Amino acid sequence: MDKICVIPGDGVGPEVMEACLEVLDATGVRLEYVRARAGLACYERCGSYLPEETLEAARESRACLLGAVQSPSDLRGYRSPIVELRKALELYANLRPFRCYTGRCLRDLDIVLVRENTEGLYSGIERVEEDRAVTERVVTRKATERIVRFAFEYALKYNRGRVTCLHKANVLESDRFFREIFFRVAEGYRVEAGEELVDAAALHLITDPGRFDVLVTANLYGDILSDELAGLTGGLGFAPSASIGEEHAVFEPVHGAAPDIAGKGAANPAAMILSGAMMLDHLGYAEERERIEQAVEETCRAGVLTRDAGGRCGTEEFAAEVVRNLG
């Protein structure tokens, strides 16, 4: 039985996590859950936002499921547990599939965003001087080759015809470097390789999303574009994600702890449920992933929707309907 480290976290995290586990169990896949703590509530209780025993549990599991953690920017000594977890487990690829489940999205697109997770403007090499602040944008050959390969391998595995590199190589030397490596790696794959300036892509995602299939890009660009893509496909409540490394993987919704609606049973659990489905696929249960995605789609299209999606049902009711639709 695969061991899964379950980190419910803060805010709506525990609520959407329960919904997700209910759906995963209903598929019939047997998993062993090891519960662990991280986030703001954990920090306030035990003085650590990512305790050593949580890291250990994550390292010893085949995958982690993470609800959401709150990261206040003004708390000294507190760093984002997600960023720390990604570093500790060397999760270099961030994978975010976007599609419309409700049939009522701004755009009916089907795009997978692959984002480099370890460097770029999030290199952490920064300094604040008296009259200026500097952040180094680091792009290494190793990390770029690794993420580009990941994108092409993904395209091959899931029969996706085109990988587009998003960059700003007309301005940034580091992006010229990224682009060159992209086209060199692309030569080894029988998948169409394209490119677009990231600002033009931000526009085309709205006006002509059909031109895109798999996107591969640097850390900050990916961070920004994934919120745009979530907005186009029904909002944060429907956006799942995976952070994947050579040995470990963490599956979590794109949204945060949403403290404004926490504890009310109102959160949309779709993003967490779909993240769980991605985890099943990662563990080798591709059919179960499809079953869950279909059940979520059926649920939404029948009008069973949470408030963020224009409906009236609660977190538990949505999950129960997904379980019913699993058959």
Site of interaction with ligand ATP (CB under 6 A): 12, 16, 70-71, 236-237, 255-258, 260-261, 267-268, 271, 308
DSSP 55-119: HHHHHHSSEEEEEE----TT-TT---HHHHHHHHTT--EEEEEEE-SSS-SS---EEEEEEE-SS
Q: Which amino acid is at 60?
A: E
Per-residue burial over 50-76, b if 16 or more Cβ lie within 10 Å, else e, is bbeebbebbeebbbbbbbbbbbeeeee
Q: How far is the CB of 12 from ligand ATP (least distance, A)?
A: 6
Q: How far is the CB of 98 from ligand ATP (least distance, A)?
A: 15
HEC readout, 245-308: CCCCEEEEECCCCCCCCCCCCCCCCHHHHHHHHHHHHHCCCHHHHHHHHHHHHHHHHCCCCEHH
Nearer to ligand ATP, 187 or 260 (CB): 260
- Nearest one of 267, 249, 280 to 66, comparing CA atoms: 249
DSSP state at residue 11: T
Which residues are annotated as catalytic? 122, 168, 199, 223, 227
Nearer to ligand ATP, 245 or 265 (CB): 265
Nearer to ligand ATP, 194 or 231 (CB): 231
Q: How far is the CB of 260 from ligand ATP (least distance, A)?
A: 5
Q: How far is the CB of 86 from ligand ATP (least distance, A)?
A: 15
C-alpha dihedral over 199, 210, 237, 253, to 10 degrees? Answer: -70
Nearer to ligand ATP, 116 or 308 (CB): 308
Cα–Cα distance between 105 and 114 in angstroms, integer? 22
Residue 214 is encoded by which pair of tokens? 């798999």
C-alpha dihedral over 199, 239, 300, 293, to 10 degrees? Answer: 110
Quick check: helix, strand or coil at residue 321?
Answer: helix
Residue that the structure tokens 């994600």 belong to: 241
Cα–Cα–Cα angle for 40, 43, 49, nearest 5°?
Answer: 80
Q: How far is the CB of 195 from ligand ATP (least distance, A)?
A: 30
CB-closest chain residue to ligand ATP: 256
Q: How far is the CB of 70 from ligand ATP (least distance, A)?
A: 5
Nearer to ligand ATP, 103 or 259 (CB): 259
Q: How far is the CB of 214 from ligand ATP (least distance, A)?
A: 24
Nearer to ligand ATP, 12 or 36 (CB): 12
Nearer to ligand ATP, 130 or 260 (CB): 260
Q: What is the CA radius of gyration of the chain?
A: 19
217 DSSP β-pair partners? 115, 166
